[in-house]
Amino acid sequence: MGSQLSIDGHMSPTTKVNAIYTAIQERDLQTLKELSRTDNGLLYDRLRRAAWPLLLHTDHGSYLDEKADDKQILDGVQIAKDIERSLYYYPQGMSAPFKEHKQKELRDLIMEVLWRNPKLNYYQGFHDICACFLLVLGKKDAIPAAENVALFFLRYAMLETFDPISKLLNLMNALLDMADPQLRAFLDRCNILPYYALSWILTWFSHDLEDYHKVIRLFDLFIASAPSMPLYVACAITCLRRKEIMAMDPDFVHTAVTNIPPDIDIEATIRQALVLEKKYPILSVQKHSGQWVHEHSAANTFESDWAALQYDQEPNHVRVEQYLGKGIPKEEWEDEVLKEIMQRRRSSTTSKT
């Protein structure tokens, strides 16, 4: 059933709503994933409220009470500052007291996730992700949802060191190299490092896109896909803008690339990302580029630890805790690669002036 639905790229909204309801009722996780990924995703927040907990394996219930103790949270000050600046683009038209209330809930939510998982480290941007879960699910359901997303999708960003993030970005670059070598070469010539996509990857684009519906639509895709999906979307966004980017003055390329146009066609982007995912599976990208992400990374443990779960199975938090306990050794070649890039940048700057 699932594959038939996904092939039809233009299901009418009514048909799709019915299909989503049926999949939820029948606890048909596979179909629900397909529906989330394709063709406008899960359509409405009321459907998401029913579907996301299933997709994230949190529908068995939420925590009875919140126990977070602020004093035990290391990044309290940073979190407070980020909360103050949260809910910036959306939702629109919130009254000040309501916004304040939501920000307090957001704070509680982040604190609770971190308190329950002391091995997770907060990063600026995690608050953006949590805000989306809060807006869709409400605080009580958002806590376990954000927790599972942190543990099974984002934990690479939540280790003690931030180094693995560079590796993910290099992987995105490698993917771009496979998808559009010309564009990649152009960006290289302009000395553009993949850090333009840093906030995209860290926040699932929720920091960059101003339109709530587009952000939430992407969240449908991400929670129903493997953790490397944001890399494919990032690549798709850049590829779809190739003409515009390649016609630019090199001095402005970084700024242009990093700012996603507000009128981006999100469905076209997602379709492109799905094509890329199919064509270049994450394993083959690693092989092609020699950029191996760690064996305990979410990307490489996802199949066994998450994708294989039945709807009534809970993911194994203990195992993830073990992964988090293991450090990631830094590899020397990473420095070498960077050194090379910087040398190239230096010489090109010199020749310009």
Partner 1 sequence: MPKDILKVVIIGDGGVGKTCLRNQFIHKRFTSSYKATIGADFITKDVHTDDGRKVTLQLWDTAGQERFQSLGVSYYRGADACCLVYDTTNFQTFHNLERWRADFLKQSSLPPDLLEDFPLILIGNKIDIDDRVVSRRQARAWAQQHSSPRMEIRCFEASAKDGTNVEEAFSCIAGMVKIPQLEFDMDGSDSFHLNRRDDSLRGRKSCAC
Site string for partner 1, 246-265 (x = CB under 8 A): -----x--xx--xx------
Residue type, 331: E
* One of 30, 199, 289, 316 touching partner 1 (CB under 8 A): 199
Binding segment for partner 1 (CB under 8 A), chosen from 175-183, 196-204, 238-246, 294-302, is: 196-204
Q: Tokens for 323, please give them.
A: 């992964």
Contact 276, 235 (CB under 8 A): yes
C-alpha to C-alpha distance for 288 and 318, rounded to whole angstroms: 33
* 338: contact with partner 1 by CB under 8 A: yes
The amino acid occupying position 260 is I
- Choose, by CB under 8 A, the member of 162, 284, 307, 333 that binds partner 1: 162
Stretch that binds partner 1, among 8-16, 110-118, 202-210, 288-296 (CB under 8 A): 202-210
User: Is 193 a residue that touches partner 1 (CB under 8 A)?
Assistant: yes
Segment interacting with partner 1 (CB under 8 A) among 14-22, 72-80, 229-237, 292-300: 72-80
Q: How far is CA 215 from CA 125, 220, 232, 288, in A?
A: 14, 9, 15, 31
Length of the chain: 353
- 85 counts as binding partner 1 under rule CB under 8 A: yes
350: contact with partner 1 by CB under 8 A: yes
- Is residue 297 within the footprint of partner 1 (CB under 8 A)? no
Burial bucket for residue 202 (CB in 10 Å: 0-12, 13-18, 19+): buried
| 59-67, long-range: CB < 8 A, 24+ apart | 60/312, 60/314, 62/140, 62/141, 62/143, 62/144, 63/112, 63/116, 63/140, 63/143, 63/144, 66/108, 66/112, 66/143, 67/112, 67/115, 67/116
Cα of 136 vs its chain's centroid, Å:
16
Q: Does 55 bind partner 1 (CB under 8 A)?
A: no
Query: Which of residues 62 and 258 has its CB atom nearest to partner 1 in the complex?
Result: 258
Contacting partner 1 (CB under 8 A), which of 121, 173, 238, 269? 121
How far is residue 312's CA from residue 306's CA, in Å, rounded to a whole number?
A: 12
Q: Which is nearer to partner 1, 127 or 217 (CB)?
A: 127
Contact segment (CB under 8 A) with partner 1 among 23-31, 106-114, 180-188, 344-352 equals 344-352
Chain positions contacting partner 1, by CB under 8 A: 75, 77-78, 81-82, 84-86, 88-89, 121, 123-125, 127-128, 161-163, 165-166, 193, 195-196, 198-199, 202-203, 207, 251, 254-255, 258-259, 338, 341-342, 345-346, 349-350, 352-353
